[in-house]
């Protein structure tokens, strides 16, 4: 049973994130989607509890996907849950520059116990990010290209 953990803010989860989850499901037995509270991002659209509910609803029929909102360091949760690696998604060189730093820190703080595997964004979602999606939402434009219908309806409830 090979498990991996996919941490992120997922505010909201996009089809880009969902594509990474799908790629990971094709490679591993279980994918833990971990909604992490990022203290640098003070403004949020959905609360962590709302994100948890939304992502659980999206994956309710996929037994390979487990969703949680843990408190603490990703490496500690990865070890507690018996994950072989952290999954991250790469869209661009700027993602790479960020991810290479984080993976090194994660290796160091876990005494080399936790490694990171990067999966590439699909070309259809290379320019999709939670922040761009929120801008499109505020412009009242169609979001079906970027978001699952469950996310769109939850966003509309907030209008």
Alpha-carbon Rg of the chain, whole angstroms?
A: 15
**Residue 89 touches ligand ADP, criterion: CB under 6 A:** yes
Looking only at residues 49 through 88 of this chain, which bind ligand ADP when binding is defined by CB under 6 A? 88
**Residue 12 touches ligand ADP, criterion: CB under 6 A:** no
By beta-carbon proximity to ligand ADP, the closer residue of 1 and 100 is: 100
**Residue 106 touches ligand ADP, criterion: CB under 6 A:** no
Q: Name the site residues for ligand ADP (rule: CB under 6 A).
A: 8-10, 14, 16-17, 20, 38, 88-89, 91, 95, 121, 125, 128-130
The residues that are catalytic are 17, 41, 91, 130
């Amino acid at each position: 049973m090979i498990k991996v953990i996919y941490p992120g803010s997922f505010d909201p989860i996009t089809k880009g994130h969902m594509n990474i989850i799908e790629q990971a499901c094709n490679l591993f037995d279980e994918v833990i989607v971990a909604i992490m509270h990022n203290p640098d991002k003070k403004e949020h659209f959905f609360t962590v509890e709302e994100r948890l509910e939304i992502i659980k609803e999206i994956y309710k029929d996929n037994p390979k996907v487990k969703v949680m909102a843990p408190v603490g360091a990703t490496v500690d949760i990865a070890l507690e849950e018996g994950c072989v690696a952290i999954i991250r998604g790469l869209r661009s060189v700027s993602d790479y520059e960020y991810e290479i730093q984080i993976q090194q820190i994660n290796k160091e703080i876990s005494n080399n116990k936790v490694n990171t595997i990067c999966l590439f964004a699909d070309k259809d979602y290379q320019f999709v990010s939670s922040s761009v999606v929120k801008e499109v939402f505020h412009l009242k434009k169609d979001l079906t290209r970027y978001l699952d219908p469950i996310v769109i309806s939850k966003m509309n409830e907030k209008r």
